[in-house]
Chain A
Amino acid sequence: NSKVIQTPRYLVKGQGQKAKMRCIPEKGHPVVFWYQQNKNNEFKFLINFQNQEVLQQIDMTEKRFSAECPSNSPCSLEIQSSEAGDSALYLCASSLSTVNNQAPLFGEGTRLSVL
Chain B
Amino acid sequence: DTQLTQSPSFLSASVGDRVTITCRASQGINTYLAWYQQKPGQAPKLLIYAASTLQIGVPSRFSGSGSGTEFTLTISSLQPEDFATYYCQQLNAYPTWTFGQGTKVEIK
Q: Do A and B bind each other?
A: no
